[in-house]
Amino acid sequence: MSAEQSPPTLRDVAARAGVSPMTVSRVLRDHPRVTERTRERVLAAVDALGYRRNELARNLRLGRTSGLVGLVVTNLANPFYSQLALGVEAIAGERGLKVVLGNTAEDVQRERRLVEEFAARRVDGLIVVPAGADHSHLTSSRLGRLPVVLAARPPSNIAADCVLVDDFGGAREATARLIAHGAIRPGFLGLPLSAWTGSERFRGFCVALDEAGLTLDERYVRRNQRTIATAEAAALQVLSLPDPPDAFFCANSRNTLGAFRAISASGSRPALAGFDDFEMADVLGLPLIVVAYDPEELGRQAARLLLDRIDREPGAADSPPRRIVIPTTVVEYGMAEQPAVRG
Amino acid sequence: MSAEQSPPTLRDVAARAGVSPMTVSRVLRDHPRVTERTRERVLAAVDALGYRRNELARNLRLGRTSGLVGLVVTNLANPFYSQLALGVEAIAGERGLKVVLGNTAEDVQRERRLVEEFAARRVDGLIVVPAGADHSHLTSSRLGRLPVVLAARPPSNIAADCVLVDDFGGAREATARLIAHGAIRPGFLGLPLSAWTGSERFRGFCVALDEAGLTLDERYVRRNQRTIATAEAAALQVLSLPDPPDAFFCANSRNTLGAFRAISASGSRPALAGFDDFEMADVLGLPLIVVAYDPEELGRQAARLLLDRIDREPGAADSPPRRIVIPTTVVEYGMAEQPAVRG
DNA sequence: CACCGCGATGGTAGCGCTACCACATTCATT
DNA sequence: AATGAATGTGGTAGCGCTACCATCGCGGTG
């Protein structure tokens, strides 16, 4: 008597209940045309055997896909992307879709492989934070009718829906606030212009300066900081100029924190603004302007765009790609009153 | 002429290449007994049609499961769990397994549903951060031979592998350091004792006090803070006692930050230690001891335990449950020198 | 020249499930 | 009483794929 190793099938249930597999199938699908008595017998057998319907077989038979949404992000350890994932999961879950995860670590090769594998698993759709600028592996010629939504970065040379943060508007608004608080020579700590967010946030910064009639001093611009430490070094460098900036706009939280450290260490008191809110922004003890937004909302919107495409009639003509921009809000911590640092 | 809506099948490829479906299947599986000429013809057809093997059908036929690992966490927005997910994804990915995500928001009902759904999708295994203390839905009687590994919280009344953080050891060591730096009346800002981490970290705190010959003043203990704001209030309350504590051990980062705020606001200077490292621990400008550990390692170990179970011969006897404890390290920020806050 | 062996290919069946049709039974209608 | 419809149940086929066996053609052997 070998204990059954593989899970019971619908046939096993049918045998035990003394009915045909079809009847079991109907009971499980809540088909109306089943006698109450039969239903009870079947359910008893299901219970006794611990039967669970095999969704894989079911989906195959129904010609459906997997009921999965592939989510490909560049770095799940980054709270931005994990919150995005949370938003995707919430909306997909409402429709009974599950989310399959892929982490690329910004590696374009890995991204290609993941997209291929997800397609082979017949996911219903893909949400991708593309690592590179080459999106050829996401074209409909490669993926057939598999819907794709890009998140956080816009499509390049392909037609696809996308959801973006208002990088430009947020940077512009925060810089404007900095200027309103008296800054006349702001510096910029940012990302390489090759990154979408890098160039958009810099553009917002520049436009705000322009609108205030200020001119940008190129010596105040540093763009290659990827860690808090290098950001701190860059800020210190700029601060040690004979005529240092009186403010910084930082393109992400790593730069903001680096600048914060540099300011704490140096004697000067430039004003500080930065993209990305963070949990401890208000306890840093220095006045601070941050550009806040909701990464979870980004995920939710991306999922909604994807569901829209998934629900479309397969025969219907492709609708034009849509682009959703998530708004940002500017938050000021301790700007009016004196800084909270104790003397 | 309707454009083909559904993706091409192996049959389509066979027809186009002028061979039988079997031959195509063999080519795709790198079966050795195929002529080079035939292989080329088939691959050309595959390319022309943009064919991709349907892994769902393949797995069904092979009697395999889905090639998926279900990951059920309580809150993906918490960096702890997202890093855990990253570790799971890395190890599972090495074996060609993908990770399906489920977020419970600490809701036991949702957890049960997610586990059921994952089982129905025939995941190869589950990694669960259980929301509650009732783990009856994770027993092998309910899930059959589906392997389950618990993460961050131990199994209760079920036999399952698990991976834990050394909550006790970390709390004890950090508290000991606090005492070594001169604390004699430390307070405790923590979690409800009903939470595993809450009671373990409190136990570590108590043992360290004991070992130093100190006695705990119950008035210094607060346990119901779930946000930075409530933690701050609790710390302020304790600090306003006539004989306030000269140090705090905080059971998680929210409590640490609340205490930090309270200390900044009040005139006193209690020493501060807390569980969980965070990115800005060293820029807070107050000396600080933190208990650090690697959540990603937790995920990696959990995935390894799971793979071990998955790889076991289905007929083999169950091996006893294993428990892995992830070590913690204690980090001191600015403890030796004077605090970095500028006067 | 029959024979064997082997390598390349094809046919059949079935993984677990359900759409579709067939059938038997019951009940209302003329 | 005969007809039709509505109802409960079962049989068959097939989703896309591959394990298994059958087949076919080839060269080498006695």
pLDDT digits (tens, 9 = 90+) for A269-296: 899 999 999 877 877 778 899 999 999 9
What would the mean pLDDT of A11-26 be, rounded to a whole number? 95
Q: Per the CB < 8 Å rule, is B57 touching A60?
A: yes
Q: Is pLDDT above 70 for A336?
A: no
Which tokens belong to A94?
Answer: 């409402």
Sequence-ordered list of residues with C-beta below 8 angstroms from that of A44, at least 6 positions apart, any chain:
A17
The nucleotide lying nearest A35 (C-alpha to C1') is: D8
Intervals of chain B under pLDDT 70: 1-4, 315, 336-343
**How far is the alpha carbon of B199 from chain A, nearest alpha carbon, in Å?**
26
Bases of strand D lying below 7 A from some protein CB: 7-12, 14-20
Q: Per the CB < 8 Å rule, is A314 touching B5?
A: yes
pLDDT recorded at residue B141: 86
Q: Report yes or no: B90 at the A interface, CB cutoff 8 Å.
A: yes
The nucleotide lying nearest A9 (C-alpha to C1') is: C16
- Greatest alpha-carbon pair distance for chain A in Å reads 91
Q: Is pLDDT above 90 for A317?
A: no
How many Å is the Cα radius of gyration of chain B? 27
Which tokens belong to A257?
Answer: 């924190």
Q: Is pLDDT above 90 for A339?
A: no
pTM for the complete prediction?
0.91
Q: Per the CB < 8 Å rule, is B141 touching A50?
A: yes
Q: Is pLDDT above 60 for A4?
A: no
Q: Is pLDDT above 50 for A153?
A: yes
The nucleotide lying nearest A7 (C-alpha to C1') is: C16
Q: Tokens 């839905």 map to which residue?
A: B137
Average pLDDT taken over every residue of chain B: 92
Q: What is the edge-to-edge ordering of all strands in the sheet holding B288-292?
A: B221-222, B186-189, B247-250, B271-275, B288-292, B329-333
3-state secondary structure chain A: CCCCCCCCCHHHHHHHHCCCHHHHHHHHCCCCCCCHHHHHHHHHHHHHHCCCCCHHHHHHHCCCCCCEEEEEECCCCCHHHHHHHHHHHHHHHHCCCEEEEEECCCCHHHHHHHHHHHHHCCCCEEEECCCCCCCHHHCHHHHCCCCEEEECCCCCCCCCEEEEECHHHHHHHHHHHHHHCCCCCEEEECCCCCCHHHHHHHHHHHHHHHHCCCCCCHHHEECCCCCHHHHHHHHHHHHCCCCCCCEEEECCHHHHHHHHHHHHHCCCCCEEEEECCCCCHHHCCCCEEEEECCHHHHHHHHHHHHHHHHHCCCCCCCCCCCEEEECCEEEEECCCCCCCCCC
Q: For Cα atoms A32, A34, A40, give the angle at the middle one, nearest 5 degrees.
A: 115
Which of B65, B76, B80 to substitute to test the interface with A, most A CBs within 10 Å? Answer: B76
State the pLDDT confidence band at A205, using cuts at 50, 70 and 90.
Answer: very high
**How far is the alpha carbon of A169 from chain B, nearest alpha carbon, in Å?**
25
State the pLDDT confidence band at A115, using cuts at 50, 70 and 90.
Answer: very high
Q: Is pLDDT above 60 for A337?
A: no
Per-residue burial over B50-80, b if 16 or more Cβ lie within 10 Å, else e, is ebbbbbbbbbbeeeebbbbbbbbbbbbbbbb
Q: Delineate the domains of chain B, giving CATH numbers in brackets.
A: 10-53 (1.10.260.40), 68-164+295-311 (3.40.50.2300), 167-292 (3.40.50.2300)
Q: Per the CB < 8 Å rule, is A56 touching B59?
A: yes
Contact residues, chain A, for B229 at CB < 8 Å: none
* Closest of B46, B37, B312, B273 to residue B174, by C-alpha: B273
Query: Could you give the CA distance from residue B237 to residue B226 in angstroms, rounded to a whole number?
Result: 16
Protein CA B24 to sugar C1' D29 (Å): 34
Q: What is the edge-to-edge ordering of all strands in the sheet holding A221-222?
A: A221-222, A186-189, A247-250, A271-275, A288-292, A329-333
Query: Could you give the CA distance from residue A32 to residue A210 in angstroms, rounded to a whole number?
Result: 69
Protein CA A20 to sugar C1' C23 (Å): 15
DSSP letter assigned to residue B164: E
Q: Per the CB < 8 Å rule, is A79 touching B77?
A: yes
Sequence-ordered list of residues with C-beta below 8 angstroms from that of A277, at least 6 positions apart, any chain:
A290, A291, A292, A293, A331
* Closest of B250, B196, B263, B176 to residue B220, by C-alpha: B250
Q: Per the CB < 8 Å rule, is B102 touching A82?
A: no
Q: Phi, psi at residue B282, to the nearest 5°? A: -90, -5
Closest to B89 (Cβ–Cβ): which among A52, A101, A341?
Answer: A101
Helix (H, G, I), strand (E, B) or coil at B247: strand
Closest to B85 (Cβ–Cβ): which among A55, A101, A228?
Answer: A101
State the pLDDT confidence band at A168, using cuts at 50, 70 and 90.
Answer: very high
Interface of A with B in 193-222 (CB under 8 A): none
Interface of A with B in 306-325 (CB under 8 A): 314-315
**Residue B247 Rama label (left phi>0; alpha psi -120 to 50; beta):** beta
Query: Could you give the CA distance from residue A221 to residue A211 in angstroms, rounded to a whole number?
Result: 19
Going from the C-alpha of B67 to that of each of B223, B310, B314, the distances in angstroms are 42, 11, 16
The nucleotide lying nearest A120 (C-alpha to C1') is: D16
- In the Cβ-directed half-sphere of B303, how many Cα atoms lie within 13 Å? 26
Is the shortest CB-to-strand distance from A322 to strand C under 7 Å? no
What would the mean pLDDT of A149-162 be, rounded to a whole number? 96
Bases of strand C lying below 7 A from some protein CB: 7-12, 14-20
Protein CA A89 to sugar C1' D14 (Å): 34
Q: Report yes or no: A117 at the B interface, CB cutoff 8 Å.
A: yes
Q: Report yes or no: A339 at the B interface, CB cutoff 8 Å.
A: no
pLDDT recorded at residue B4: 55
Average pLDDT taken over every residue of chain A: 92
pLDDT (tens digit per residue) in A223-256: 999 998 999 999 999 999 999 999 999 999 999 9
Q: Phi, psi at residue B339, to the nearest 5°? A: -55, 150
Q: Per the CB < 8 Å rule, is B86 touching A76?
A: yes
Amino acid making up residue B121: R
**How far is the alpha carbon of B126 from chain A, nearest alpha carbon, in Å?**
14
